[in-house]
């Protein structure tokens, strides 16, 4: 989809509401489609990637999925045909901020007749790339210079300085509001589906003010990273509580990966050119091992 078309769609969503936009985009066959067993909606934590993708500032326009991503591993573990799985996750995906939004992903799934009475599971893993708040809209991706600033740090003051997002604006109500209409739409067209809100893996110890990344096998610590760690803590809580508000299931990926974040003896997330995990893996994203853990957990939930 061309960027201009994406912007027009996003503008329409803002003015008309996500539900109206999705209804207007629904293909004529959507109501009669049997659907696919599994539908995956998400960002790079679902699609995953490689460190070389960072050299492409325009983003992953093809929305590729690495062979070890958790949805791919899940598909293989469950013995599903690729034709019976719709994976619209994409690097840079967001709920409604930019890039390949939830609206775009649902539209793609609709076009592929993925929603229907046969649809058993729909997963949503989004929020990391979204801007939050009203006065100082900034996404986490724009706060990376703050995180690596070892001189000024990235503590709570960074929010007031406009260098980091405001964690206090990331609430369950805000999260639920932003995905509610898409959830209602999915429930209408896939009435038998269970919707799973997938959390993010442990990237730092919950409640910690510091953050760490392994680069070339060397642990690099930012001791003043509260603005970022609080963002991640608040996002985790917002997802968990939004699931309750919308009567969804929340998968606590943090708990599944506890003790296996960056700079730990057995990390399940990749560093930068880190020989201990995957040298070409996507930094701060799950390794093949981490994605395997998540795929197993999702499979266990589906087959319960």
274: which strand partners? none
CB 99 within 8 A of CB 51: no
Query: Is 102 in a helix, a strand, or coil?
Result: helix
- pLDDT 10s digits, 23-79: 555 554 445 689 999 999 999 999 998 887 766 655 545 688 999 999 999 999 999
Written as six digits, the tokens of 89 are 């996750």
Task: Give which of 226, 288, 212 is closest to 50, Cα–Cα.
Answer: 288
44 is catalytic: yes
pTM: 0.88
| DSSP-derived 3-state class of residue 115 | coil
Q: Of 33, 44, 46, 94, which one is the catalytic site residue?
A: 44
Residue from 90, 105, 104 nearest 46 by CA: 90
At residue 238, the 3 state secondary structure works out as helix
Structure tokens at 29: 């066959």
Show me where the domains of the chain are located: 3-26+37-303
Answer whether CATH 3.10.580.10 is correct for domain 3-26+37-303. no
Q: How far, in Å, CA of 259 to CA of 238, rounded?
A: 22
Q: Give the DSSP per-residue string, 239-299.
A: HHHHHHHTT-EEE-HHHHTTT-STTSSS-SB--BS-TTS-TTBPTTSB-HHHHHHHHHHHH
Tens of pLDDT, residue by residue over 171-183, are 999 999 999 999 9
Q: Determine the Cα–Cα distance for residues 215 and 167; give it in Å rounded to an integer.
A: 27
Q: Of 89, 94, 285, 287, which is the active-site residue? A: 285
Distance CA 43, CA 110 (A): 18
95-121 burial: b if 16+ Cβ within 10 Å, else e: bbbbbbbbbbbbbbbbebbbbbeebbb
Give residues with Cβ within 8 angstroms of 101, minimum separation 6.
Answer: 6, 10, 13, 93, 94, 95
141 in active site? no
Sequential pLDDT tens for the chain (304 residues):
443 344 344 434 443 555 555 555 555 444 568 999 999 999 999 999 888 776 665 554 568 899 999 999 999 999 999 999 999 999 999 999 988 999 999 999 999 999 999 999 999 999 999 998 765 567 777 778 888 898 999 999 998 898 888 899 999 999 999 999 999 999 999 999 999 999 999 999 899 999 999 999 999 999 999 999 999 999 999 999 999 999 999 999 999 999 999 999 999 999 999 988 899 988 899 999 999 999 999 999 999 8
Locate tokens 């993925």: which residue? 114
């Amino acid at each position: 989809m061309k960027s201009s078309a994406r912007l027009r769609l996003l503008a329409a969503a803002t003015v008309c509401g996500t539900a109206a936009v999705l209804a207007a985009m629904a293909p004529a066959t959507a109501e009669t489609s049997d659907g696919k067993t599994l539908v995956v909606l998400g960002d790079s934590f679902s699609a995953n990637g490689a460190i070389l993708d960072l050299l492409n500032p325009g983003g992953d326009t093809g929305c590729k999925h690495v062979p070890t991503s958790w949805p791919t591993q899940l598909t293989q573990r469950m013995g599903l045909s690729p034709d019976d799985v719709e994976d619209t996750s994409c690097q840079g995906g967001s709920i409604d901020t930019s890039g390949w939004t939830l609206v775009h992903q649902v539209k793609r799934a609709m076009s592929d007749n993925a929603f229907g009475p046969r649809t058993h599971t729909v997963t949503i893993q989004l929020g990391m790339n979204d801007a939050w708040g009203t006065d100082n809209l900034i996404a986490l991706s724009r706060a990376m210079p703050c995180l690596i600033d070892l001189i000024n740090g990235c503590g709570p003051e960074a929010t007031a300085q406009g260098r980091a997002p405001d964690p206090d604006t990331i609430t369950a109500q805000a999260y639920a509001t932003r995905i509610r209409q898409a959830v209602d739409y999915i429930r209408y067209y896939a009435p038998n589906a269970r919707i799973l809100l997938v959390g993010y893996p442990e990237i730092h110890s919950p409640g910690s003010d510091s953050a760490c990344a392994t680069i070339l096998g060397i642990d690099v610590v930012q001791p003043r990273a509260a603005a970022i760690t609080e963002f991640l803590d608040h996002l985790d809580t917002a997802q968990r509580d939004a699931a309750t508000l919308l009567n969804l299931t929340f998968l606590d990926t943090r708990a599944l990966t506890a003790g296996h974040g960056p700079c730990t003896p057995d990390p399940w997330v990749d560093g930068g050119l880190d020989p201990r995990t995957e040298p070409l893996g996507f930094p701060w994203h799950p390794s093949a091992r981490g994605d395997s853990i998540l795929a197993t957990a999702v499979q266990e939930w589906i087959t319960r």
